[in-house]
Amino acid sequence: MAARADAWVENLGRLARDEGQARVRVGDIVAAAGEGGLAAAILFFALPNTVPSLPGMSSVLGAPLLLFTAQQLLGRPAWVPQWLAGLSISRMHLEAAMARLEALAAWRHGVSRPRLHAFAGPLAMRLAGGLGCVLALLLVLPLPLVNIPIGMTLSLLSFGGLRGDGLAVVLGFAAGIASLALAGSVLWGLWTLL
């Protein structure tokens, strides 16, 4: 599983450094993930939500996350519909995202390792997909304060799945429960204001 994560980072790094193209299609990004396609696609679309971004960006990224987490919940391999596969991002943005991913890959060598296999197995990842669906739906909604915790949760869950690191998955579930509590508080606050 560790090799799968490394291969994805390397393949995507090659796409990001290919100066022959100005833009990279989403379909090519998911294809670069190979066997770990779903977890890698979720990680790729979740990572931008872990930092402050432009208003509305979480809604744009939430739609593909909803699709990929639903596939994970159903235990399906990665499938990208034609409309999404044809969308593209600038190679420069991909290169910036890759800088974060490569930093994460370097960090995980000292911190993350395959462990607690039951918590990173197929059943756990399907449960992670269910939690991910709910969180991705919350990302699509224009709620304040929840994007970064949700992005971190989805990143932890998918990273743990890619690495076979059950501890990261358990931490992801804990972060997910905290994110749902925060989202519930925000929704309650908005409801009382209205």
43: CB partners within 8 A, 6+ apart: 101, 154, 155, 158, 159, 162
Helices 91-111, 147-163: crossing angle, 10 deg rounding: 60
pLDDT at 110: 62
Give the domain extent around 96: 2-193
pLDDT at 91: 82
Q: For residue 176, which of 127, 140, 120, 143 has the smallest C-alpha distance?
A: 127
- pLDDT mean for each 10 residues of the chain (194 residues): 59 82 84 77 86 80 91 90 84 78 63 83 94 95 89 92 89 97 93 87
Answer for the pair 172, 157: CB distance below 8 angstroms, yes or no.
yes
CA dist 41 and 59 (Å) reads: 16
Measured in whole angstroms, the distance separating CA 141 from the mean position of its chain's CA atoms is 17
- Structural domains in the chain (count): 1
Three-state DSSP at 23 gives strand
pTM for this prediction: 0.84
